[in-house]
Structure 1
Amino acid sequence: MHLAEEREWHVLLHYRRTLLGGTESMQDDPGFFLSQEGKTNSQAELAATLAGFFSEELIGRSKQPAQCAFVARYYWLNEKLRFDATRLSPHPCERFTRWFDEFNADAITVIFPSGFMNNPSSMFGHTFLRVDGKEQTPQTRILAYTINYAAQLPADAGVEYAIKGIFGAYPGYFSTIPYYLKVQEYRDIDNRDIWEYRLNLTAPQVRRLLMHTWELGNAYFDYFFFGENCAYHILSLLEAAEPSVHLLDRFPVYTIPIDTVRLVRESGLVGEVVSRPSRSTLVRRKRASMSADEQVWFDRLIRNPANLQSEGFRALQQDRQAFVLETASDYLLQHSAVGGEEGTPFRDKNRAILRARSELKVTPRDLPIEPYVKQPDLGHGTSRIGIGAGWRNHRAFEETNIRAAYHDLLDPEPGFTPDAQIEIMSLSLRHYHDQSQARVERFSPISIVSLAPMDSLSQLPSWKVNVGMQTI
């Protein structure tokens, strides 16, 4: 029995094959290994782990016995070796038990907030997990806990984050955060649509995922913005739940969050997909459903709630007054979410709107809201290679185009932010028939375009950034 070479052991230790044919763990915290050689020697780590199970020494950042610090390892090895409880007494692990029981886990959902063009760290989207409780309904799952992986940043990181994040200069940690706080951050403040992919994992698979999450609380990974990022390490948790799926093998160099969501769906792990539209989407959809007269009153109310007393507004039917007021409140909440003095005028206006709404004894209208961006995992792949030929100045040529990521304005729009472009590492090589060598026609490490439509609801500026060269 060669346990040290089994897939499950390699998944739990995050071992990957090196270019020279060896094995090395992606884990960067020495406290994650019980053997000094554990990062590169799976057999030595297995032996040290088994020995550690007999010890009461407190290890790792969490300062627990090995059985409790590495519960997934203990659980799997016990399945394989059938430990004799008279010789190896199982530790009660009260801290893990309390943590696990608090979830009361029933299912796991992959959460994907869409890209946010005004934040470099969020342009490609983000993924994390939500742990759905057995007693929770679709309406109360906002109270569930999430499992999130992110870089630990200094308070004044700024532009430094983008640079250091590329080269793995920050440690990345797993954490558990209430889902409603993440919804507030992404949907209400950043105005990003959120997509929820509920997985069809079995109870044992959910348990394995949570046990390994507990283990990772003892350690950190070096965070790489394009490689070992949030999406990459969320996939590692899904592999811990079901080791037979090889998800990380598809991302040897760089990892784009939406590509990982697409892969999870293609692997058959996704059961149900639900959207949680941003407050901006909510306001735009509701305003679009209004009559022209109602839209006029909506625009007047968000500028000056004194218009509540206007005869023209009061002439609307009460259910339509209520709908306009609710939409106005959504708009004002969207702009008051920034906090501080900047949001104070919007909060003051919203209080007046809510007082007027409370005087109308009308049931709120239930209007289904769909995001403007289609389901992201149904969009095109983010990398691209193309070939072409042409004629310029009486000279024929062939051309090869390569793009590492992500989307340009001419690509099919479904699944991606409308009127936006992000291209990373785009290269065009051209060969003219009358030349012996090909030349670099265009090269751009990064090209970003944001064409934000301006209307009465939004006046965000359009902008673009392009770094590169072009042969002329």
Structure 2
Amino acid sequence: MLSNTLKSCIHAAFLISSIFISQARAEANEITRIANTPIWLTLIHSWHSNAQITDASFLLSLPNYSAANELTETLALIKSDSQAALCRFPARVTYLANALNIRLTGAQIELCPELQKFINHVPFDALDVVYASEVLSSASSMMGHIFLKASGVNFKGNLVEHSLAYFTEIDTLNPAKLIVDSTIKGMPGFFSVRPFHKDKAQYRDTESRNLWQFKLDLSSAQKTLIQYHLWELNQINMTYYFQSFNCATLTLELLALAKPNIMSERSIFVSPADIVKA
């Protein structure tokens, strides 16, 4: 009798152990699957398994960065404090909540004051891609410039339009230094959010450049995801590389949040004109 009881206990323990192992494997497989989805890779700006943004406030998995590690750390943050996670990474958390059916009990966008301020002031009722033609006399504009324009009715009931652009500032006239800084060392990248009429006046009236606008056919959820992610990017430090992480690169990746297949157009160098063609 004792022997049979002992055997039953061992068998039960083995079954429980097998269940836990199976669950762990299933969770690991799910993390691997999600970590390799185009939208997750775009949200963390991973390119060929490399991080294009290395700000520690943006990547949780440093110094052991990988797409899977970043996902694991993000899920841990959600588990420990879903409200803090939502306020810090609204695009990531929104995507993962939908992809993994995570219930964010009590977590609300309305409880994120800085994010809510951005939403109130920069509505995303409509989204356009804007291409400013090239200026051959300017090193920073010889390939043209491309950015997004968000428009809609703000919290005051006014119709507003905002430019959402990534750029760098050239502070040297030395061609050799400029090449090294812009392609090897990298230059400080700036993400600006400002009234569109200022850019329109600058490019069209002051610089006599052509402006082309392309309205995007996106769902409300797609526009919201881009809006949330733009807010994430506006809070961090980024490094601008002329050949690999410029205004066109970032614009292409933002568009990929809505249309992942557009990343097939990504190559080592992406120009503003390439985005228009895509």
| Runs (5+) with no aligned partner, structure 2 | 1-29
Distance 1:227 1:45, change over 3 A: closer
- Who is 2:51 aligned against? 25
Distance 1:191 1:84, change over 3 A: closer
RMSD after superposition: 2.5
Distance 1:104 1:218, change over 3 A: closer
User: Per-residue deviation at 1:157?
Assistant: 3.2
- Who is 1:65 aligned against? 84
Alignment of 1:234 with 2:251, yes or no, is: yes
Matched residues in 2 for 1:242 and 1:69: separation? 24
Contact 1:168 1:222 in 2 (8 A): no
**1:151-182 CA-partner distances (Å, limit 9, x unpaired):** 255xx434467322233421213221111111
Alignment of 1:189 with 2:206, yes or no, is: yes
Distance 1:85 1:229, change over 3 A: closer
- Who is 2:61 aligned against? 35
Distance 1:79 1:262, change over 3 A: same
Q: Could you say what secondary structure the match of 1:253 adopts?
A: coil
- Who is 2:12 aligned against? none
Q: Could you say what secondary structure the match of 1:144 adopts?
A: strand
User: Per-residue deviation at 1:259?
Assistant: 1.7
User: Per-residue deviation at 1:221?
Assistant: 3.2
**1:17-70 CA-partner distances (Å, limit 9, x unpaired):** 2xxxxx22221222211122463x12211111111124469xxxxxx9332111
- Who is 2:98 aligned against? 79
- Who is 2:178 aligned against? 162
Matched residues in 2 for 1:152 and 1:222: separation? 12
Contact 1:34 1:52 in 2 (8 A): no
- Who is 2:22 aligned against? none
**Paired residues for 1:390-405 under 5 Å:** none
Q: Of residues 211, 234, 238 in structure 2, which corresponds to 1:221?
A: 238
Distance 1:4 1:224, change over 3 A: same
Matched residues in 2 for 1:43 and 1:37: separation? 13
Counting helix residues as a fraction of each chain, which structure ranks higher?
2
**1:185-239 CA-partner distances (Å, limit 9, x unpaired):** 1112111111111111121111111111111123333212233211111111111
Q: Could you say what secondary structure the match of 2:128 adopts?
A: strand
Matched residues in 2 for 1:183 and 1:234: separation? 18
Distance 1:68 1:152, change over 3 A: farther
Q: Which amino acid aligns with 1:229?
A: N
**Paired residues for 1:191-340 under 5 Å:** 191-243=208-260, 245-247=261-263, 249-263=264-278
Using the size of structure 1 for normalisation, the TM-score is 0.47
Q: Of residues 70, 88, 91 in structure 2, which corresponds to 1:45?
A: 70
Q: Could you say what secondary structure the match of 1:35 adopts?
A: coil
Matched residues in 1 for 2:136 and 2:85: separation? 44
Contact 1:146 1:179 in 2 (8 A): yes
Matched residues in 1 for 2:67 and 2:183: separation? 29
| Runs (5+) with no aligned partner, structure 1 | 18-22, 58-63, 264-472
Q: Which amino acid aligns with 1:212?
A: H
- Who is 1:327 aligned against? none
- Who is 2:152 aligned against? 133
Using the size of structure 2 for normalisation, the TM-score is 0.78
Contact 2:255 2:262 in 1 (8 A): no
Matched residues in 1 for 2:134 and 2:254: separation? 23
Q: Could you say what secondary structure the match of 2:229 adopts?
A: helix
**Paired residues for 1:301-380 under 5 Å:** none
Q: Of residues 27, 39, 49 in structure 2, which corresponds to 1:8?
A: 39
User: Per-residue deviation at 1:12?
Assistant: 0.8
User: Per-residue deviation at 1:134?
Assistant: 4.8
Counting strand residues as a fraction of each chain, which structure ranks higher?
1
Q: Which amino acid aligns with 1:70?
A: F
Matched residues in 2 for 1:31 and 1:115: separation? 34
Q: Could you say what secondary structure the match of 2:167 adopts?
A: strand
Matched residues in 2 for 1:100 and 1:167: separation? 36
Q: Percent identity?
A: 29
Contact 1:209 1:240 in 2 (8 A): yes
Higher gyration radius (CA) = 1
- Who is 2:16 aligned against? none
Between Structure 1 and Structure 2, how many residues are aligned?
Answer: 240
